[in-house]
Amino acid sequence: MNCRLITLLTDFGARDAFVGIMKGVILGINPEVTLVDLSHKVPPQDVVAGALLLRSAVAFFPPGTIHVAVVDPGVGSARRALLIETPRAFFIGPDNGLLSLAVLAEEVVRITHLTETKHFLTPCSDTFHGRDVFAPVAAHLSLGVAPEQFGPTVTTMERLRLPSVEGEGIRLVGRVIYIDHFGNLITNVTAADLRPFSRENLLVSIDGVQIRGVATSYASVAVGAPVALIDSWGMLEIVVRNGSAAQRFGIQLEHPVHLIPT
Amino acid sequence: MNCRLITLLTDFGARDAFVGIMKGVILGINPEVTLVDLSHKVPPQDVVAGALLLRSAVAFFPPGTIHVAVVDPGVGSARRALLIETPRAFFIGPDNGLLSLAVLAEEVVRITHLTETKHFLTPCSDTFHGRDVFAPVAAHLSLGVAPEQFGPTVTTMERLRLPSVEGEGIRLVGRVIYIDHFGNLITNVTAADLRPFSRENLLVSIDGVQIRGVATSYASVAVGAPVALIDSWGMLEIVVRNGSAAQRFGIQLEHPVHLIPT
Amino acid sequence: MNCRLITLLTDFGARDAFVGIMKGVILGINPEVTLVDLSHKVPPQDVVAGALLLRSAVAFFPPGTIHVAVVDPGVGSARRALLIETPRAFFIGPDNGLLSLAVLAEEVVRITHLTETKHFLTPCSDTFHGRDVFAPVAAHLSLGVAPEQFGPTVTTMERLRLPSVEGEGIRLVGRVIYIDHFGNLITNVTAADLRPFSRENLLVSIDGVQIRGVATSYASVAVGAPVALIDSWGMLEIVVRNGSAAQRFGIQLEHPVHLIPT
């Protein structure tokens, strides 16, 4: 299995050198590794946003990729540090749900509680585990250290629960769970949720705006018009073509979206 | 020709994982590739800004570099996806003019219309061709797949036209075409446009501010003073030393700049 | 010594292609190099912030790393371009103090004034030495060109002086010298400055807010509460847990912090 690819996802931002420092630690241990940034602009301490972004990405990386994620408001507390092995990838980060949307329950091969300090930096701070714990563990793992060398195998991990799609009579009610860079509104409604319905005849209603049908591309409507589609995440997304749906409609996270068969 | 270097330029921003996902796709196909980000902060859907940035960069990359650019408001429409070969580099992206400022007309070796779906991801969405079309095509090209394997050769591409420098009596009138991170005002006036004039005696006038002479460095004036110079793009640029000319003068794109020989 | 790792720190921002262009120049000269971004969001022309970020990072990179830093308000003036060799690393950038906090005076092995134009790009502009001087010098150095080949050895460099911690009776008075992405307030007070005191009994006072004791982690207080701790830079830092101390207290750079033994 190719373990030379490490991805990084954090809420560290791009202004300070925190991310670069993690890379220095990793490359100091394994100079042969290839590093890919998933995002460092997760809103500070927003574990849900980080978990959604990580989930959106993992299917597109080759087998054996090591994903390091650090959105870690509990750093220095008793929250555990984990290494999770699945058939496809490794996940390293705090046990606060951040990894849980990317890791399907049925696919967990092993969860390791990271306690073996010989694989950490010395001294190990209580403020920057990205540098002192997660980066060096990822680098040692990429060198072939076996997961069980990093600490005891455990059986549980924190799991996030996204709001579920609810039924109200014949309609479904979803929620906006993420707003992307373009202001597109990503909901918790999946392609599977829409299977019982005729996509062409579904009315998508958000904040008084009604969109008829679920399209397959942004380009199916005129510039400036709203469109609902199944997006690259496999989720129902509401878009203003070449504009920002979030700004146009003044929509924030958690806003309900109604799906009405007609 | 070295085809192991791939650059990426998009309007995807740094918050979501779109860029990281493209890299995952590329490295999954060719793990030996080196990736360089040109910019992911092209203003959303701003094809002209993306085209200018791409043009500013290509001369500084080694021969055989593969440049992937995705500012793609027409994704999912009938707009074509292209691979353009020049003596120096390859360009991959949508046929909306984005590649056209970097690719000089006289240097086009071949334009390939990307239609060969076996080099795309499966399934291929209508919303994220960066991931599903442009990234895998770039990776396969870097592995040595010949350009003609990606689809039919075509003879045309969309070309952007920058506003041209106009003459008004003895004066030239240019336009601000890009404002950079520092607030420097980059115009459409090239070093060649200035050749008929004495640089020292040229009066550069923008919004009532008059700058005498065209300098060669920011440091030729005091901190806080305005200066006009031929910049690293080879264009006439108006700068406030160690400040933001855009903010100081309240200038936006398209603003005219008058050049008056004295 | 491993010289294949080059870091970049600039105030160029992420919107334009300046950083990508530097990477193109480097990889064109040495395609085997690994590049790491430390930060490109140093506030424009803020040499002190750049110097602090560089200092925070260098200890975490492997021996032989080449650090290129470009915050260069004097580009095109008579300010010198330098290559500094220490037992651990190489530093390349303008002689304006930017490198001086990372380079301890006692550790300088050699300072080279970069004058040998054969290692620069041709033509070499007066506006973009990151591209034309520092990037190619770093790349040639990584290929094994000896430091003395780049110009004459000199004996001095500009050194920044951080505000010093002052004593006022029994109390110490420090200053906020950096505010990070999370709004954490980093001061000029080091762990060494605190050695004479009992950390538990120290009262940390900033703008009327009094914090008792110096903790070791953010998690030692409740969410939303302020805490003072020695941070990952080894400096006294004032934090609002999972919030922004800068916003909460309306604090800016240079703000005093009083340390009062009780």
φ and ψ at B195, to 5 degrees? Answer: -55, -40
pLDDT digits (tens, 9 = 90+) for B72-127: 999 988 899 999 999 999 999 999 999 999 998 789 999 999 999 999 999 999 89
What number is the average pLDDT over the span B49-64?
A: 96
Contacts of B217 in chain C (CB under 8 A): 75-77, 126-127
pLDDT at B232: 86
**Number of residues that this document lists for chain B:** 262
Q: Is A21 on the interface with C (CB under 8 A)?
A: yes
Q: Is C34 on the interface with A (CB under 8 A)?
A: yes
pLDDT tens for each residue of C13-39: 999 999 999 999 999 999 999 999 999
Contact partners, residue A189, CB within 8 Å, separation at least 6 = A165, A172, A174, A235, A236, A257, A259
- The confidence score (pLDDT) of residue B242 equals 92
* Pairing assessment for the beta strands A89-94 and C81-85 based on DSSP bridges: unpaired
The answer to whether residue C140 scores a pLDDT higher than 80 is: yes
Which of C45, C76, C128 is closest, CB to CB, to B220?
Answer: C76
Count Cβ atoms below 10 Å from residue A136 Cβ, excluding itself.
Answer: 22
Q: Give residue C206's identity as a one-letter amino acid code.
A: I
Q: Which of B13, B24, B126 sits opposite A61 (nearest CB)?
A: B24
Q: Residue with structure tokens 């209603």?
A: A205
Average of per-residue pLDDT across B221-250: 93
| Tokens describing residue C51 | 């110097």
| Cis peptide preceding A123, ω within 30 of 0 | yes
What pLDDT sits at residue A52?
A: 95
Nearest partner of A219 among B134, B129, B119, judged by Cα: B129
- Closest chain C residue by Cα to residue A73: C242
Q: Measure the CA angle with vertex A147, ends A145 and A149; round to 5°.
A: 70
Q: Which of C14, C23, C44 comes nearest B36 by C-beta?
A: C23
Distance from C-alpha of C145 to C-alpha of C13, rounded to nearest angstrom? 30
Instruction: Read off the pLDDT band of B16 (50, 70, 90).
Output: very high
A193 HSE (CA, 13 A, CB side)? 23
Closest residue by Cα to residue B130 from B36, B2, B4, B40: B40
d(CA C16, CA B55): 11
Which residues of chain A make contact with B71, given a CB cutoff of 8 A?
Answer: none
User: What would the two tokens of residue B55 be?
Assistant: 């043009």
**Closest-CA distance of chain C to residue A217, Å:** 27
Q: Write the CA distances from A126 to A121, B105, C116, integer angstroms.
A: 12, 58, 47
Q: Chain C residues with CB inside 8 Å of B244's CB?
A: 44
Share of chain B above pLDDT 90, in %: 84
Interchain proximity A62–B24, CB inside 8 Å: yes
**What would the pLDDT profile of C43-90 be if each residue is shown by its tens digit?**
999 999 999 999 999 999 999 999 999 999 999 888 999 999 999 999
Question: pLDDT by residue (tens digit) across C167-194?
Answer: 877 889 999 999 999 999 999 999 989 9
Angle at C64 between CA C59 and CA C70, to 5 degrees: 75
User: Quick check: C219 and A24 CB within 8 A?
Assistant: no
> Would an 8 Å CB–CB cutoff place B39 in contact with chain C?
yes
Strands A226-230 and A89-94: unpaired
Rounded Cα–Cα distance for residues C242 and C245 (Å): 9
What is the DSSP track for B148-203? GGGS-EES------PPPPEEETTEEEEEEEEE-TT--EEEEEETGGGTTS-GGGEE
What does the pLDDT average to over A149-176?
92
Q: Mean pLDDT, chain C, as a whole number?
A: 94
**What mean pLDDT do residues A191-201 have?**
90
Tell me which chain C residues have a C-beta less than 8 angstroms from the C-beta of A131.
60, 232
Instruction: State how far residue A233 is from chain B, nearest Cα, in angstroms.
Output: 10
Find out whether the peptide bond into B123 is cis, omega within 30 degrees of 0.
yes
Residues of chain A with Cβ-Cβ distance to B131 below 8 Å are 60, 232
Mean pLDDT, residues A46-65 taken together: 96
pLDDT exceeds cutoff 90 at C104: no
Mutate to test the interface with A, among C181, C216, C223 (most CBs of A within 10 A): C181
B199 reaches C (C-beta below 8 A)? no
Distance of CA A262 to the CA centre of its chain: 34
In 3D space, the residue among C67, C48, C47, C42 whose CA is nearest the CA of residue C57 turns out to be C67
User: In angstroms, what CA-CA distances link A93 with A47, A67, A78, C195, C205?
Assistant: 11, 9, 14, 33, 34
Test mutation, C11, C33, C36, chain A, max A CBs within 10 A: C36
CA angle C206, C211, C213 (to 5 degrees): 125
Q: Is the pLDDT of residue B4 over 70?
A: yes
**ipTM of this complex prediction, to 2 decimal places:** 0.94
Task: Report CB contact under 8 Å: B75, A218.
Answer: yes
Interface contacts B/C by beta carbons within 8 Å: 99
The answer to whether residue C220 neighbours chain A at the CB level (below 8 Å) is yes
Q: For residues B44 and B75, what is the distance between their CA atoms, to the nearest angstrom? A: 13
pLDDT tens per residue across span C195-219? 989 999 999 999 989 999 999 888 8
Q: From the list C40, C60, C182, which residue is nearest A25 (CB)?
A: C60
Given a cut of 60, is residue B204 above it in pLDDT? yes
Q: How does C73-84 read in b/e, with b if 16+ C-beta sit within 10 Å?
A: bbbbeebbbbbb
pTM of the predicted model as reported, rounded to 2 decimal places? 0.95
Tell me the residue type at C238: I
Q: Inform me whether the C-beta atom of residue B73 falls under 8 Å from chain A C-beta atoms.
A: yes
Burial of A145 (0-12, 13-18, 19+ CB in 10 A): middle
Residue A174 scores a pLDDT above 70: yes
Domains of chain C, earliest start first: 5-154 (3.40.50.10790), 166-261 (2.40.30.90)
Residues of B with Cβ-Cβ distance to C21 under 8 angstroms: 38, 56-57, 60
User: Of A4, A5, A21, which to mutate for an interface test with C (greatest number of C Cβ within 10 Å)?
Assistant: A21
Considering only CB atoms, which chain A residues are within 8 Å of B19? 37
Question: In the predicted model, what is the mean pLDDT of chain B?
Answer: 94
How close C184 comes to chain A (CA, Å)?
A: 11
